[in-house]
Amino acid sequence: MSLVPFWFIVITILWTGFLVLEGFDFGVGMLHGVIGRDEAGRRAAINTIGPLWDGNEVWLITAGAAMFAAFPGWYVTMFSGYYLALVLLLAALIVRGVAFEYRGKRDGPRWRSTWDVLMTVGSFLAPLLIGVALAGLLHGLPINADQNYTGSFWYLLQPYALFTGVTLVLACLLHGATFLCLKTTGDMHDRSRRVARRIAPFTTAAVLGFIIWTHVTHSTTFFLNLVELLAILAVLAALWLVIEHRDGFAFTATTVTVAACVLSIFTDLYPNVMVSSTNAAYNLTVYNTASPPYTLKIMTVVTVILLPVVLAYQAWTYYVFRRRVSRADFHAATASENTTEPREAVSAHDTPTSPDQPGT
């Protein structure tokens, strides 16, 4: 039995897992200044994802590595065609990560507000660029017979790709808002609910438009497939659950929404991995870009052994940091910093070192 389809499924799962887990991180990054209106509130919002965000980004690295090892032809064409877009994506992710690390290094308002803006911008650009990139794989890019990308950066910004990017941004915003509903208390919890109610209608409209556009232009059947139907049902459920203040179920619904939107792209893409707008005969498929069978066999053995360990470790991390974060945990520390000299010990992540120890 060929391992080629198996590895396409693995890569699909890795991209889906990354956008589901990092999706609420992006949402919190975009919303931390809205939900936390003062320094203590912003610290509390950041601390909801502080122990998690860097682990979630590992999924992106693993997805890229799996593409390189399993489908080198796909990796080469995609990364050469998306070169500038990927540089912008890396810049957004780096700036966002540095903002987590550096905003707590000084107590000056301008210093922290600058890093807060960079965190917001980075958290916005990352899902936008990823949405544009994934949509381009399905919608079609100028690829010649030698599997070389022949277009420019501006060709990537097609209407369908831009709409997909905006849809993913809105889905991450709602995903992050429902996550904050689960992880905060008091006025921050109430504000998270209000923000989620305001975002939900726009996210619902965007997801419905994305699914319809995807189905009409890229599906060969009249009826929606199961993944597309799941995306529609999930976003409608999220809208209703947010209005009804069912926080846990609402977060589950946004999780399914993000996952189904990503899966719908890969479902309609297979067996292609990149569609050529120049000539359908030049499409990159799982078969004309795959590694030799022996390479795939070794990768499969390593994955079967190590993947359960990684999943167990990440599940344990989420369990350890499951408690809610309160603005009161950071209010006293903020007041102290405003009246005394900065203390020497400042958390690198501006986050608690344990579930019961507030960051400084």
In a domain, 360, yes or no: no
Cα–Cα dist 311/55, whole Å: 11
Task: Report pLDDT digits (tens) over 303-345.
Answer: 999 989 989 999 999 999 989 988 887 765 555 555 433 333 3
User: Is residue 26 pLDDT above 90, yes or no?
Assistant: yes
pLDDT of residue 221: 82
Cα–Cα dist 190/188, whole Å: 5
Give, in order, the Cα–Cα distances in Å from 272 to each of 58, 115, 266.
25, 41, 9
Residues 127 and 165: beta-carbon distance below 8 Å: yes
Task: Report pLDDT digits (tens) over 133-162.
Answer: 999 999 999 999 999 999 888 999 999 999
pLDDT of residue 337: 54
pLDDT of residue 209: 97
Percent of the chain with pLDDT strictly greater than 90: 76
In a domain, 355, yes or no: no
Residues 126 and 93: beta-carbon distance below 8 Å: yes
User: Is residue 191 pLDDT above 70, yes or no?
Assistant: yes
User: Is residue 264 pLDDT above 60, yes or no?
Assistant: yes
In a domain, 329, yes or no: yes
Residues 135 and 161: beta-carbon distance below 8 Å: yes
Which H, E and C letters describe the chain, residue by residue? CCCHHHHHHHHHHHHHHHHHHHHHHHHHHHHHHHHCCCHHHHHHHHHCCCCCHHHHHHHHHHHHHHHHHHCHHHHHHHHHHCHHHHHHHHHHHHHHHHHHHHCCCCCCHHHHHHHHHHHHHHHHHHHHHHHHHHHHHHHCECECCCCCECCCHHHHCCHHHHHHHHHHHHHHHHHHHHHHHHHECHHHHHHHHHHHHHHHHHHHHHHHHHHHHHHHHHCCCCCCCHHHHHHHHHHHHHHHHHHCCCHHHHHHHHHHHHHHHHHHHHHHHCCEEECECCCHHHCEECCCCCCCHHHHHHHHHHHHHHHHHHHHHHHHHHHHCCCCECCHHHHHHHHHHHHCCCCCCCCCCCCCCECCECCC
User: Is residue 1 pLDDT above 70, yes or no?
Assistant: no
Angle between helices 186-218 and 109-139 (to 10 degrees): 20
Residue 297 carries which side chain, given as an amino acid letter?
K
Cα–Cα dist 354/306, whole Å: 27
295 vs 101, higher pLDDT: 295
In a domain, 356, yes or no: no
Does the predicted model carry a pTM greater than 0.75?
Answer: yes
Domain that holds residue 216: 4-339
Cα–Cα dist 57/74, whole Å: 21
User: Is residue 350 pLDDT above 80, yes or no?
Assistant: no
φ, ψ for residue 224, nearest 5 deg = -65, 145
- Cα-based torsion angle of the residue sequence 238, 123, 169, 84 in order, rounded to the nearest 10 degrees: -150
Task: Report pLDDT digits (tens) over 222-255.
Answer: 889 999 999 999 999 999 999 999 999 999 999 9
Query: At which residue do the structure tokens 């909801």 appear?
Result: 48
- Give the mean pLDDT of 263-291: 95
- The pLDDT confidence band at residue 356, using thresholds 50, 70 and 90, is very low
In a domain, 359, yes or no: no
In a domain, 299, yes or no: yes
pLDDT of residue 107: 81
In a domain, 323, yes or no: yes
Query: At which residue do the structure tokens 């109430």 appear?
Result: 190
Cα–Cα dist 183/192, whole Å: 10
User: Is residue 37 pLDDT above 50, yes or no?
Assistant: yes
pLDDT of residue 124: 97
pLDDT of residue 220: 79
Give, in order, the Cα–Cα distances in Å from 211 to each of 97, 126, 167, 206, 238.
32, 21, 10, 9, 16
pLDDT of residue 334: 56
In a domain, 104, yes or no: yes
Task: Report pLDDT digits (tens) over 56-110.
Answer: 999 999 999 999 999 999 999 999 999 999 999 999 999 999 998 888 888 888 8
pLDDT of residue 351: 43
> Token pair of 144, please?
């010649």
Provide the number of structural domains found in the chain: 1
pLDDT of residue 249: 97
pLDDT of residue 326: 85
- Give the mean pLDDT of 43-57: 90
CB neighbour class for 208 (10 Å; exposed up to 12, middle 13-18, buried from 19): middle
pLDDT of residue 278: 93
